Structure 1
Amino acid sequence: MLSPGRSATGILLTIFLFLICSSCRKEVPTEGFVEVEGGKIWYKVVGKGEKTPLLILHGGPGSRSCTMMPGYSRLGDERKVIFYDQLGSGSSDRPQDTMLWRRERFVDEIEILREELDLEELHILGQSWGGALLSEYMITREPKGVRSVIFSSPLLSTRDWMDDARLLLSQMPQPVQDTIRKYEALKEYSKPVYLAAVDSFYSQHLSRRSWPREPVAECEGVGGFNSEVYNYMWGPTEFTATGTLLDFDRTDDLDEIEEPILFIAGEYDEARPETMYEYQKLSKNARVEIIEDAAHSTVVDQPEKVSLVISDFLKSVENSSE
């Protein structure tokens, strides 16, 4: 048996070692690059809040995170918000090897980023194609430490996406419908008359606030949309899927996600609200929030409403686990 003196010394030593180990957590720069297969991906951490961090997966494939920063950064008072550009996108490296444009490699990026940024616990939001990537991550990797999942206007089934696109197109003025269908059939996607018709569709269903896009300060000096990745994985237009995502569908697997889920869509979204409610039925623990007067780019169209909805959801998840 230890003497009282030795016992007290042992306790003090344990506390000392605990304090040392607590201070040994690596310091993570708020901006930088992380090495992944094929090159380096860029990331940025915004905010100083102490609640569980939120990781953002941008859309595309081939888009970038900077357009979403003004909206999602509003959550920074509560928690750190982590943005990153997928390989081939934004400020990340842009290799030309199409063998890199695999879903499992994009999923690997999430795991590598979590390890490098010491994200043991986090929430994850996937926007559009980012929703497809998030579903792949949750279903194929069954990761630990993910407290909730947010599917924002997600691509979860190419079949559903195309059905929604056809339905929304059928509601456009007849000349717009005829022009888009004519040049889609001819595979002539650069004709000015076709692009004008597509802009009419996008101003209704992609972004009602900013189409064509207004300049975003956070995007200054950032590489633009990578159409090569988009064409390879998706196809030539929003209305025509021909790429590697042609048969993508994770809807039958949604019930494998145990974590709380929030589905978000805009009132006029390409990912229609009706489809989100169908996905809710296929999930175990999900809710749906529809953002009024918003299209696919919900956080661009209605940043205040979107940040409030997400804040309330994350707080409810965290409060329920305390």
Structure 2
Amino acid sequence: MFLKTLHLTIVFTLLCINSFSQLTEQEGYVPVTGGKIWYRVIGKGKGLPLLLTHGGPGGTSRSFYQFVSIGNDRPIILFDQLGSGRSGYHTDTSLLKVPFFVEQVKALVDHLSLDSFYLHGHSWGTALALEYYLKYPQGIKAIIFNSPYFSTEVWKKDADTLISTLPVSIQKAIADGERTRDFNSEAYQNANTVFAKNFGVRNTRLTSPWDTVTAPSNGFIYNYMWGPTEFTATGTLKNYDRIGSLSSITVPTLFITGEYDEARPATVARLSKLVKQSQFGIIKGAGHGTMHDNRAENIRFIASFLQSLEKTNPISK
């Protein structure tokens, strides 16, 4: 019986290794409903792959180029959600529903034959990662929620708390804009700039030698699904709330957020407690753009978390 069990263990380990050792550095397109999504695999490390879902909605994966050093340990997979970046552009509102975004992730997972992998989301991408896990948990060995968004109501409350720390003139400009629905006024736009500088990307946005192709975000998608600014939600996600589903996560989960993040540390710490196997960390000096404000610490949290899992459970490698 021992020899039989040992044989099965060795076979399983080899199958796990073979399942992702074939994931070479590459880029391409995957057909999905409404068009094609662009993806890129970076890194030659032998660990389990890390699949990254970017923020927005309507954002791009460009900021994930700041994570290329993680590729020394494992392949990282980034892609642009349909409608933005290097994927097919569109303004078709019938495609701007959460289930369609989930199926884009599934199409990529199937295309790359990912049997075992880690899932990472940033901002809106954390909601997408959670939605994907809830529908397709198979093969996901751990999740990383970076600057998470799971509830518009909670996000708005956090934004209001942060706004209250800004100059009175900025608070008034935001209140006036939301009251009159004039989101294009000079005062409101200036207030948005001040908010972003304090809680978005606080330092200089980093560039990358990998980022060589124009890959614009899609403001139409952002406005339709979210709204005019990070602190004003008017779109289809206005009533979005998935916090109640966090307790159903059964894999190890890392919650991280910036010290000055829109996803406030106090809130993220509270959310992390809803997941049984969770860890929580604060990225010092960072706003919402954690990979720009403190790339080294952002990477350290991610890499250390995954390495610790593989050290504890070497068969997953």
* TM-score normalized by the length of structure 2: 0.89
* Equivalent residue in structure 1 for 2:173, among 167, 172, 179: 179
* Equivalent residue in structure 1 for 2:31, among 7, 31, 35: 35
Q: Say if 1:80 and 1:26 are closer, same or farther in 2 by CA, change over 3 A.
A: closer
Q: Are 1:80 and 2:72 matched, yes or no?
A: no
C-alpha separation between the residues in 1 aligned to 2:147 and 2:23? 34
* Equivalent residue in structure 1 for 2:60, among 64, 68, 85: 64
Post-superposition offset of 1:67: 2.2
Contact kept, 8 Å, 1:67 with 1:219, in 2: the verdict is no
Q: Are 1:233 and 2:233 matched, yes or no?
A: no
Q: Are 1:52 and 2:48 matched, yes or no?
A: yes
Q: Are 1:169 and 2:160 matched, yes or no?
A: no
Q: Are 1:158 and 2:152 matched, yes or no?
A: yes
C-alpha separation between the residues in 2 aligned to 1:183 and 1:158? 19
| 2:100 equivalent in structure 1 | 105
Matched position secondary structure for 1:96: coil
| 1:8 equivalent in structure 2 | none
Matched position secondary structure for 2:57: coil
| 1:253 equivalent in structure 2 | 245
C-alpha separation between the residues in 1 aligned to 2:151 and 2:28? 33
Q: Report matched runs for 1:93-172 at 5 Å.
A: 93-139=88-134, 141-172=135-166
Deviations 1:236-267 (A, max 9, x none): 22122121211111111111110100001000
Larger Rg: 1
C-alpha separation between the residues in 2 aligned to 1:108 and 1:259? 21
Counterpart AA for 2:237: L
Contact kept, 8 Å, 1:68 with 1:300, in 2: the verdict is no
Q: Which runs of 5+ in 1 are unaligned?
A: 1-14
Q: Report matched runs for 1:5-20 at 5 Å.
A: none
C-alpha separation between the residues in 1 aligned to 2:47 and 2:23? 18
Q: Which runs of 5+ in 2 are unaligned?
A: 1-10
Post-superposition offset of 1:151: 0.4
Post-superposition offset of 1:129: 0.2
Deviations 1:122-172 (A, max 9, x none): 101000000010111112x14211110000001111111000000000111
Contact kept, 8 Å, 2:25 with 2:42, in 1: the verdict is no
Deviations 1:73-113 (A, max 9, x none): 11011110111000011000012211101111110111110
C-alpha separation between the residues in 1 aligned to 2:144 and 2:261? 16
Matched position secondary structure for 1:151: strand
Post-superposition offset of 1:221: 3.3
C-alpha separation between the residues in 2 aligned to 1:260 and 1:285? 5
Counterpart AA for 2:46: E
Contact kept, 8 Å, 1:147 with 1:317, in 2: the verdict is no
C-alpha separation between the residues in 2 aligned to 1:60 and 1:310? 21
Deviations 1:191-224 (A, max 9, x none): 23322221111111001112xx566554443232
Counterpart AA for 1:234: W
Counterpart AA for 2:170: V
C-alpha separation between the residues in 1 aligned to 2:265 and 2:225? 25
Contact kept, 8 Å, 1:67 with 1:218, in 2: the verdict is no
Counterpart AA for 1:175: S
* TM-score normalized by the length of structure 1: 0.88
Q: Are 1:293 and 2:285 matched, yes or no?
A: yes
C-alpha separation between the residues in 2 aligned to 1:153 and 1:80? 22
C-alpha separation between the residues in 2 aligned to 1:316 and 1:94? 39
Q: Are 1:262 and 2:257 matched, yes or no?
A: no
Contact kept, 8 Å, 2:24 with 2:41, in 1: the verdict is no
C-alpha separation between the residues in 1 aligned to 2:109 and 2:207? 30
Contact kept, 8 Å, 1:263 with 1:286, in 2: the verdict is yes
Counterpart AA for 1:116: H
C-alpha separation between the residues in 2 aligned to 1:27 and 1:74? 17
C-alpha separation between the residues in 1 aligned to 2:245 and 2:36? 31
> In angstroms, what is the RMSD of aligned CA positions?
2.1
